[in-house]
Amino acid sequence: MKPVRLDGRSLTRAQLVAVAHGAQVELAAEQLPAVARAAEFLAEQVRREEPIYGVSTGFGSNADRLLGAHRLREQLPGEARSDETLHEELQRNLIVTHAVCVGEPFASDVVRAMLCIRINTLMRGHSGIRVGTLQALVAMLNAGIVPVVPQLGSVGASGDLAPLSHLAIVLLGGGEAFYQGERVSGADALQRAGLQPVVLSYKEGLALNNGTAQMLACGVLALSKLEDLLDTADLAAAMTIDAFAGRLGAFAEEVHALRPHPGQVEVAEHLRRLLDGSTLADIPYHLVPSFKPWSPQSWDTAESQALRFDIGWNWVSFNQRHGREKFYTRFRPFRGGKKHQPQDSYSLRCIPQVHGAVRDAVAQAARVLEVELNALTDNPIVFPDADKEHVEQQVISAGHFHGMPLALVMSYVKAAIPVLASISERRLNKLVDPATNDGLPGFLIGNEDSTESGFMIVQYTAAAIVNDLASRAHPASVYSIPTSANAEDHVSMGANEARHVLAMADDLGKVLGLELYTAAQALDLRRDMINAARDLADRGDAAALAEKVQGGPRPDSAEHAGFLAEVEALRVELAEADEFRPGRAVAAAHAAIRARIPFLQRDRALDGEVAAAVRLVVDGEVLAAARLA
């Protein structure tokens, strides 16, 4: 794979994800003179003894303390003399004292993304870092050295100080790193890779740890997952719609043109594509039978006995039609699995509005992250070629390290994730509940002997995850805790937001996997039940189909002839129908599931199947199958 070229201006989210997963990087040669110019400018200002924040002063609340010409502490009894300059010591101390994060280390993809982001922003040429130091960072990244960066410790201003210090400390030969799968000291990792530690120069420590790389890396990687999960959510919803033999009017193009939120319009169009070719959706309600428990008398042939279920309808008698005669002239008087009503429940009908709103939240976050990818985020900002009278007009302390732009959009996405998970769980619950699943068996299992639970507890797992996601959705960005002796009196907490979103995206995928797992079972049942009715109608007569209809009149009744005529009309309509099937994309996704997970005929251990369903989502296998259809 060709290395990703970093110039500080053109890094894309896709390129960052590629680097996170192992791609190499290279520095844009044409940008290096600007990098060198800023470093040379700072060196010249130090020679002129100009006071510059973070170069010849302390940091944070120590910004008013200027570096002296020599170490006062060397006059203390027993104090050893050092060959390190105060400027070098200042930058080194900044890194080694700030690397104080705790908790489990970030995964290698997050750390590699952080390194790439940091290199790219320093390539803007306004940070004062030397070209050689940047080249050392590139060499460390390309060698596969992954600094150990514990997850907890950033408040998101001044940037991600502590986690970025864990990155930089390895460059100095300190800290810890993973190298070739082994956790070793930073010095050992450099040595094994054939690299030398770096001695930092003016402002280089500040350039290395002052920025938004952790929150940005987590945010970009989270959105990379979420963008596929948005399509997966639509796919799971489409499979559930087919399993319900649902109604498509709510997804019509002309409907959404009247409320054209971009995400809503996109989801409606996506659902139409996923369900294209379905003969289950929009099926006349009277053709849909209800599930009935299998019995030895259920079917009349050995082939149909293998179905392991029975079907049935209820007939609406003539004396129940008073005032509804016009309706029953148009619609057949049989009540099976579907109620005759013009709308489905909100979890089906409102998919574009809910899924679309989540898409819009993710799109807004993507816009902000794309700006941040090529933004300068350290401090102070060096303008070496500015024609100004004083150095403080060329080295300007600003607030680009503040993570609030990222924090707020991550809060938005954080609130959106439980919404998408919740509507998915509601559809799953609707599938397993016999009161709401439109004639499917309770918990999607035959349960002839009352010993089986079927998919009952799958819904429990989904509910538990949704509750956990909802409890984690509280925005961290609204709760600032001042730091650095109140010099940093308002912070973003964006690192926590982005870290939460990255973890929550994985849990969203689990809920969607559970819906797909359940919807595949329901789709099999719905398709087979309707096709069983079609086959019976095709091979039998009205009397045979009438055996499946409850509430009919006695054979000696005056109404019996009329009843048989209506059953015959139902039989003809079923017999003349094509085989009932889901949409082409839904069918392809269903086949991908069935290649790994068989239909549940009888209760069995489901833990491995649940894990497989989640893996189908994580690996993108089920989504890829639908996209290829």
Residue type, 454: G
Q: Give dist(CA 493, CA 215) in Å, integer.
A: 9
CA distance 225 to 236: 16
Q: Are the beta carbons of 384 and 41 closer than 8 angstroms?
A: yes
- Which residues are CB-contacts of 452 (< 8 A; sequence separation ≥ 6)? 443, 445, 446, 602, 603
Measured CA to CA, the distance from residue 63 to residue 487 in angstroms comes to 9
What residues contact residue 87 under an 8 Å CB cut-off, 6+ apart?
46, 55, 56, 67, 201, 202
CA atoms of 458 and 606, how far apart (whole Å): 9
CA distance 549 to 311: 9
Helices (H), strands (E): how many in the chain?
23, 13
Q: Tell me the C-alpha distance between 531 and 525, whole Å.
A: 10
b/e 561-570 (16+ beta carbons within 10 angstroms → b): eebbebbbeb
Instruction: Convert 371-407 to b/e letters by CB count within 10 Å (16 or more is b).
Output: ebbbbbbbbbbbbbeeeeeebeebbbeeebbbbbbbb
Pairing of strands 310-315, 549-550: parallel
Task: State CA 119 to chain mean position distance.
Answer: 26
Residue partners of 327: CB distance under 8 A and separation at least 6: 321
Q: What are the Cα distances from residue 106, in Å, to 90, 177, 456?
A: 28, 11, 36
Nearest C-alpha neighbor of 11 from the set 403, 384, 109, 3: 3
Question: Strand 25-27 to strand 4-6: parallel, antiparallel, or no bridges (unpaired)?
Answer: parallel
What residues are annotated to the active site? Answer: 53
